[in-house]
Amino acid sequence: MPDTSLPIRTRLRNSASASLLTLFATGAVLAGCSGGDFGRTRQDFLNDDMHRWMGIEATGSLGLPSSQFQLTDIERRLRDLAYPLIEPPHSRPAWKSVFGDYQPLPSPWRQRVVFDRTAYGRLLIDEPHRSHASRYAQLIDDVRDDLTRFEPFYATAIQVLDLDRKRNTSLAHVSQLSPREHADAVARMEENTLIVQWVQQCLERRISSYRWALERLVIQAPDNMAPHADRLIGELAAQAAHPPVLGQPVVAPALTTRG
């Protein structure tokens, strides 16, 4: 009697294999959609006002109202350029690019926010690496990225704050200005100023973190790359100490540090 079960088993195996391949392909597509290249958020997940929350967070952390005005193009650019400078450096491991790598951050004026200058260095040193040289390379890349971001951010900040000064002068000359319009204009100017201050404080924190990390690398794994890293950190510190523009302080700096 001929064996008729073999084709059935074959079809079942083929069907199971096809299902597994389909599942694998679907997973790969979903993973590719969730995270962008090199851990960056994919462009199709971005929207024009994705950083609008920064102004709301800055004023809200001080008990101040936020503005209901729409963001201008240059105000939007200010927020877009500010986010990479307030996000802690090297804070997103590669796996987060799949499950979501973007989140709002608390402003430095939140009372319970305590800056830990050792966090960056401990993450850098404790992460598995093939060689100690890669730790130095990561530190150098992070500092160089901040140097690259510095000028575009402050060039935009100069324009925004200059326009806000003109806006402030115009308030006295606008006919039939409602209390709500006046409040929204003032709130937007406060938001913009606080975002500039937020970046200024984060730059100070980053420099402190970079120096702590370099000091630990030097004693744990001395390398000739250390002087280069030190020069870059010094260059960033010099630029941060003399920024092209200083936002008029709405409040005193909040720089609580541990470590």
Task: Give the residue with greater pLDDT, 39 vs 160.
Answer: 160
**pLDDT digits 0-9 by tens, 119-153:** 999 999 887 777 889 999 999 999 999 999 999 99
Task: Give the residue with greater pLDDT, 43 vs 62.
Answer: 62
**pLDDT digits 0-9 by tens, 198-225:** 999 999 999 999 999 999 999 999 999 9
Burial 85-111 (b: 16+ CB within 10 A, else e): bbebbbebeeeebeeebeeebebbbee
| Per-residue pLDDT at 13 exceeds 80 | no
* Residues whose CB is less than 8 angstroms from the CB of residue 86 and which lie 6 or more positions away in sequence, other chains included: 54, 105, 198, 199, 202
